[in-house]
């Protein structure tokens, strides 16, 4: 069975909690948890199935650790890689930039030829604009700890059921 990597910053508290929940929901699948702050191109390309945790920081930007990996990503050919993104954002606090980091990362990966999976409906969220939108779907799982934390468990469970089909 293919190993799947979940890559996120081990210092991003909420992003890390969601990574644990995803791992738990997948059950027996062989998962490797990788710290985005120690990521290299070799590690990244050694997995065919990748889940990336991407919170939005700085009013619509990627966190530093992802931003620092972008030049490496831009050099890679990601054709054939199946990648699922989950993003964290705050729709009430940052309604004009909700989940922009997820959208920025999705754009970079799409441009390199990756197959993004795990898109989810934007229904049930309230915001003004988001770079993460692709039509009426987000380019991954949208988590809002600040305003909809009680929905995390269900959202993760539904997403993992979806990924099990889309990864296979």
Contacting positions for ligand FMN (CB under 6 A): 12-15, 55-60, 88-90, 94, 97-100, 145-146
Backbone conformation region of residue 124, classed left if phi is above 0, alpha if psi is from -120 to 50, else beta: left
Q: Are the beta carbons of 105 and 155 closer than 8 angstroms?
A: no
Shortest gap between Cβ of 152 and ligand FMN (angstroms)? 11
Shortest gap between Cβ of 45 and ligand FMN (angstroms)? 25
- Residue nearest to ligand FMN according to CB distances in the complex: 89
Closest CB to ligand FMN among residues 78, 108:
108
Shortest gap between Cβ of 15 and ligand FMN (angstroms)? 3
Closest CB to ligand FMN among residues 73, 99:
99
Closest CB to ligand FMN among residues 53, 167:
53
**Contacting residues for 102 by C-beta, under 8 A, at least 6 apart:** 54, 56, 85, 86, 87, 89, 131, 132, 138, 139, 140, 142
């Amino acid at each position: 069975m293919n190993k799947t990597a979940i890559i996120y910053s081990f210092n991003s508290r909420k992003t890390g909690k969601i990574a644990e929940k995803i791992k738990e929901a997948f059950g027996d699948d062989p998962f490797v948890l990788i710290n985005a702050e120690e990521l290299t191109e070799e590690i990244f390309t050694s997995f065919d199935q990748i889940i990336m945790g991407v919170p939005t920081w700085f009013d619509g930007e990627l966190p530093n650790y992802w931003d620092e990996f972008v030049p490496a990503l831009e050099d890679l050919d990601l054709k054939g890689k199946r990648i699922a993104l989950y993003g964290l954002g705050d729709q009430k606090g940052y309604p004009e930039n909700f989940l922009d980091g997820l959208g920025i990362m999705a754009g970079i990966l799409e441009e390199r030829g990756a197959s993004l999976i795990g898109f989810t409906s934007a229904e049930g969220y309230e915001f003004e604009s988001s770079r993460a939108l692709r039509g009426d779907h987000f380019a991954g799982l949208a988590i809002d700890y600040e305003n909809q934390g009680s929905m995390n468990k269900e959202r993760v469970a539904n997403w993992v059921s979806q990924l099990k089909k889309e990864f296979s």
